[in-house]
Amino acid sequence: MKRLRNILVTIVPLIILFLIADYVLLVPLNIRFEEGFNLFFALLVIAIIAYFYEDVRYIFQDLAKGQSIHFPGKAIKFCVITLFVIYIGYQVSSTPILLSQQYRDLIGEIETKDFTEDIPMVDLSKIPTVDEAYARRLGDKKLGEDVGLGSQVYVVDYTLISMNDELFWVAPLEHVDIIKWFTNREGTPGYIMVSATDAQDVRLVQQDAEGNPIKLKYLPSAYFNDDIRRKVYFEGNMFEGLTDYSFELDDNGRPYWVVTTYTKKVGIHGGADATGVVVVDAQTGETAKYSVEDAPKWIDRIQPQSFVINQINDWGWYTNGFINTLFAKKGIIQTTHGTNYMYIDGDWYFYTGMTSAGSDESTVGFMLSNTRTKETTFYKIAGATETAAMKSAEGKVQHLGYQSSFPLLLNVENEPTYFMTLKDNQGLVKQYAFVNVKDYSKVGTGETLDEARANYTKLVFGGQGNFSDISSGEHKTITATIDRLGMSQTDGNTYYTIILKEHPELLLMGSGTISPELPISREGDQVTIEYIDAKNKTKTIVSFDNLSFDQ
């Protein structure tokens, strides 16, 4: 009776404690999540302590006196052992030692494709020259133009989105503190938009398409039920994982929060994997829930970047089982340091390089993973890591002391190429750089995109001609006979100049790295050549096939 009274006296404050913890911590009420398990386990321990209060008191007395623990009864001893077994069992239930294959397969089937066939060639006007750090700087400057507004709100995290096929960094105006939130309960007056391709296009958007004022009520900086995390949690999402609260705009510029829902798929609590999204109108709080397949097309990101990178790493790490990771480490590949985005034909992709275990400067290829579907592709290209490319670009302008941004991967005339901006100590973009992935000693820099591109293509494709308009040239393919073939050296690189018997008006030039057949070709060989028909006199060879060879 006394034990029952102890637990009855405890149960009311225990329920109150649970409700407070749930409201404050927003823990998923599901043991598949560590936070949920720990909460339930802690409540169970408290309940057992209350039930066996007298016995527990004796145990703590033994501990206080430095004596060995004495269990007054078999029941409490059984409970302690049971709790220990439950806790240890839970911790090891998802260990890779037993489940390495499940971790490896979580990313799904990875298809290997050819870079030049799958990745379209770059359009200079579509290159995101503004990274997040630069966007934040431009956004702060724009916000500072309104002195009164700048004291009420601030901007934290930017999201890279596409809207009507244009790329923007967007971020909501956040409350400075709880006082500003309390005095502006209707919400903050708008959001910042920074073009990712034009640093001059910076907007403070305070009205919607119909001219109505924008009021962002649900924000991370809001309090109580206006906090976007609490709003989503109590909209029926208490039993599943919630992560990646991304601020996005639909095609009409209306602001929403896009929140990923996820579960655990390996063992009890391992292998986080996205299941869909919760979409919340940042102004009205109207909420809708979608699966990965049914999400609106304007949503750019469903898969959290951390989930995708972890799954790619598991795929590369456990390729030959867990034991292999301890000893032989045969065939292990891992992601390089850093991740970026690629926008291809209306879809966003996470990009990361892949490197062999223990390799710091070279890659074996790279991965692209669709930010909505998680469909992942591997491109096998040996070359430099992003970090090595950044150092190479900085070395090119070391006398100026510029710092490189993290690279974007581009297809420049069928050459995998890193692109980065070069900034001064104030964070201002001063130059642009293109670095060849296969040979990172080939670096083209310039104060404009055209200049940097021209300098780069001269190094990669040849030292003659004007390459500034190369991107506007039409790709043409011809089959003809070599009439004359010459070789030249420029900056340690070998280039071949070709005149065709059937097309004597064409002067074609290409690097010896384009095809292993080019250096061993000779006059009279029948060849198929793809070239860029730009305005310059010398036409750049993109691909070369000697029809005399069957290899």
The pLDDT score that the predictor gives to residue 458 is 82
Distances (CA, A) of 369 to 112, 300, 505, 544: 12, 13, 44, 30
Phi, psi for residue 493 in degrees, rounded to 5: -110, 145
pLDDT reading at 497 higher than 70? yes
C-alpha to C-alpha distance for 136 and 208, rounded to whole angstroms? 22
Mean of pLDDT values over 2-27:
81
Between 443 and 448, name the one with better pLDDT. 443
Distances (CA, A) of 361 to 20, 313, 353, 355, 408: 50, 18, 11, 8, 17
Q: Which helix (H) or strand (E) holds 481?
A: strand 474-490
Mean of pLDDT values over 199-226:
96
pLDDT digits (tens, 9 = 90+) for 146-189: 988 988 999 999 999 999 999 999 999 999 999 999 999 999 99
Mean of pLDDT values over 372-382:
96
pLDDT digits (tens, 9 = 90+) for 333-368: 999 999 999 999 999 999 999 999 876 678 999 999
The pLDDT score that the predictor gives to residue 489 is 67
User: What percent of the chain has pLDDT above 70?
Assistant: 90
Strands 202-205 and 255-266: unpaired
Q: Write 46-51 long-range contacts (CB < 8 A, 24+).
A: 46/10, 46/14, 46/17, 47/7, 47/10, 47/11, 47/14, 48/76, 48/79, 48/83, 50/6, 50/7, 50/9, 50/10, 50/14, 51/3, 51/6, 51/7
Question: 402, 416, 425: which is closest to 137 by C-alpha?
Answer: 425
pLDDT digits (tens, 9 = 90+) for 77-97: 888 899 999 999 999 999 999
Mean of pLDDT values over 217-233:
98
Q: Indicate the pTM of the whole model.
A: 0.82
Confidence of residue 466 (pLDDT cuts 50, 70, 90): very low
Mean of pLDDT values over 475-496:
82
Mean of pLDDT values over 472-499:
81
Between 472 and 197, name the one with better pLDDT. 197
The pLDDT score that the predictor gives to residue 55 is 64
C-alpha to C-alpha distance for 216 and 206, rounded to whole angstroms? 10
Give the dihedral of Cα atoms 121, 123, 126, 132; nearest 10 deg. Answer: 60
Strands 526-533 and 474-490: antiparallel
Q: Which of 57-66, 310-319, 482-491 has the lowest mean pLDDT?
A: 57-66
Mean of pLDDT values over 100-125:
92
The pLDDT score that the predictor gives to residue 511 is 76
The pLDDT score that the predictor gives to residue 439 is 93
Angle at 365 between CA 364 and CA 367, to 5 degrees: 140
Q: What is the largest CA-CA distance in the chain?
A: 107
Phi and psi based region of residue 394 (left: phi greater than 0; alpha: psi -120 to 50; beta: remaining): alpha
Q: Which of 205-209, 431-435, 460-464, 538-542 has the lowest mean pLDDT?
A: 460-464
User: What percent of the chain has pLDDT above 90?
Assistant: 72
Look up residue 492 and give its amino acid. G
Question: 405, 394, 541: which is closest to 480 by C-alpha?
Answer: 541
The pLDDT score that the predictor gives to residue 54 is 65
Average pLDDT, the chain: 90
> What DSSP designation does 463 have?
S
